Amino acid sequence: MTDYSRRMSLFRRGMLDSVPIVMGYVPACITFGLVGKSLSLGNWEVFLLSALVYAGASQFIGAKLLAAGTLAPIILLLTLIINLRYGFISTSFSQRINRQSGLWSKAMVGFGLTEEVYAISMISRRNGERKEKLSTAYLLGLELPPYAVTLLSTWTGIILAQYIPEHILPALNTSLYALLIALIVPQLRGSKRSIVICISAAASSWLLEPYLGASTVLVSMMIGAWAGGRTSLKKTNGREAA
Amino acid sequence: MTILLIAAMGIVTFLLRFTPLLLAKKVPIEGKSSGFLDNLPLAVLSSLTIPGIFQVDAETPWVGIAAGLTAVLLVCIRKVPLFLVIVASTLAALLVKVI
């Protein structure tokens, strides 16, 4: 196989793996378009929050802050705090990518690195290719469709803002949680450490959410990962993922 | 003006994602810190799911719970393809909402 066709097949595999993410993002981004409009932001402001920030829940917070006319330095500081989790996610991720890849490809991969992309790529790695680095071609294939549908669905939401009954949307948004659960549950089988991580992260997130709001994930993911490190390091072999 | 601010928010977010990739050392981090980072994916997923799933519909928490239970059941029972799990859970949520 030539280098080109090898990369194309990796790219296609990435796109295939991205299907569940895409299904989660479509309703979420339509909702974002609707919510943005209901906060009476301009069409382009709503769209650019998706296109440039591209950070899930923190977009909603950003939209609310913008609509409330919060001062720019405060908005930027809050953006930094809320999205600090990406720093940790990316640090963890950086050990799995090809370090020799160029600046430009690292920039593209970095831009598209959402929680869901991170989870899917880390888990697909566990399926028999533990040693292998994730190739740039695969990652771009995995990241491109979710970003493309984010743009399309946000715009769709902006346009639909006049027609859609808003009360039906939360039900559609559960698709993102179904994706999360489908990623979590298979990891819990036969691994005491995974169960400890899951329960401590979920419990701390639940308890802290009323106080920390959007920054909760940052704190509770540290608690979960730390608690997992405290449990016996005896390797369990049941950590296969779907 | 607002557009510029949004662009700045985008740059902040991008730098958080990009800088660690840029700084990645040639030698992988071993030992304790690596264990910590290995635990992160699951920890992130868990804290994103709870309590968010209960709040997805502010009026009817059952919408999120129905989707969650359907997802857990389908994942546990058999190797159902991921996209079917998502479709079924979302339908369950819609059903609860309509009822």
For residues A71 and B30, the answer to whether their CB atoms sit within 8 Å is no
Chain B residues whose CB is inside 8 A of the A205 CB are 46-48, 50-51
The pLDDT score that the predictor gives to residue A48 is 96
Count how many residues are written for chain B.
99
Element (H, E) at A92: helix A84-94
Note the Cα A135 to chain centre separation in Å: 19
The residue behind tokens 């950070």 is A55
Q: Do B35 and A229 touch (CB under 8 A)?
A: yes
Q: Look at residues A6, A77, A64 and name the one whose alpha carbon lies nearest to residue A32.
A: A64
Distance from CA of A85 to the nearest CA of B (A): 8
CB neighbour list of residue B50: distance below 8 Å, 6 or more residues apart: A202, A203, A205, A206
Q: Do A107 and B63 touch (CB under 8 A)?
A: no
For residues A183 and B98, the answer to whether their CB atoms sit within 8 Å is no
Q: Do B57 and A52 touch (CB under 8 A)?
A: no
3-state helix, strand, coil in chain B (%, to 5): 80, 0, 20
> How many Cα atoms are found within 13 Å in the side-chain-facing hemisphere of A24?
27
| pTM for the whole structure | 0.80
pLDDT tens for each residue of chain A, 242 residues long: 678 898 999 999 999 999 989 988 998 898 889 888 888 889 999 999 999 999 987 888 888 889 888 889 988 988 898 888 899 889 888 888 887 788 899 999 999 999 889 988 887 655 545 556 788 999 999 999 999 999 999 999 999 887 877 677 778 888 888 888 988 898 888 788 999 999 999 999 999 989 888 788 889 989 999 998 888 554 444 443 33
The pLDDT score that the predictor gives to residue B27 is 54
Q: What are A135-147's pLDDT values in tens digits?
A: 899 999 999 999 9
The pLDDT score that the predictor gives to residue A199 is 95
pLDDT tens for each residue of chain B, 99 residues long: 889 999 999 999 999 999 999 887 655 555 555 578 788 888 888 988 988 899 888 888 899 999 999 999 998 886 788 878 888 998 999 899 888
The pLDDT score that the predictor gives to residue A203 is 96
Provide the 10 A C-beta neighbour count for residue A112.
18
| ipTM attached to this prediction | 0.84
> What amino acid is encoded at A72 in this protein?
A
Q: Do A113 and B10 touch (CB under 8 A)?
A: no
Residue B9 contacts A, CB cutoff 8 Å: yes
- The minimal CB distance from B43 to the residues A95, A171, A201 is found for A201
Element (H, E) at A183: helix A169-188
The pLDDT score that the predictor gives to residue B87 is 87
Chain A residues whose CB is inside 8 A of the B5 CB are 66, 72, 75-76
- The minimal CB distance from B49 to the residues A53, A94, A181 is found for A181
DSSP state of B59: S
Q: Do A80 and B16 touch (CB under 8 A)?
A: yes
Domain regions of chain A by residue span:
3-180, 189-242
Q: Look at residues B29, B49, B38, B44 and name the one whose alpha carbon lies nearest to residue A224.
A: B44
Residue B44 contacts A, CB cutoff 8 Å: yes
The pLDDT score that the predictor gives to residue A14 is 92
Distance from CA of A51 to the nearest CA of B (A): 9
For residues A47 and A158, the answer to whether their CB atoms sit within 8 Å is yes
Provide the 10 A C-beta neighbour count for residue B55.
12
The pLDDT score that the predictor gives to residue B30 is 54
Q: Do A86 and B9 touch (CB under 8 A)?
A: no
**DSSP string of A26-37, one letter each residue:** HHHHHHHHHHHH
DSSP state of A97: B
> What amino acid is encoded at A27 in this protein?
P
Residue B65 contacts A, CB cutoff 8 Å: no
Q: Look at residues A83, A40, A43, A47 and name the one whose alpha carbon lies nearest to residue A64.
A: A40
Select the residue from B1, B9, B12, B82 to test the A interface by mutation, using most A Cβ atoms within 10 A: B9
Q: What residue in A sits closest to B93 (Cα-Cα)?
A: A171
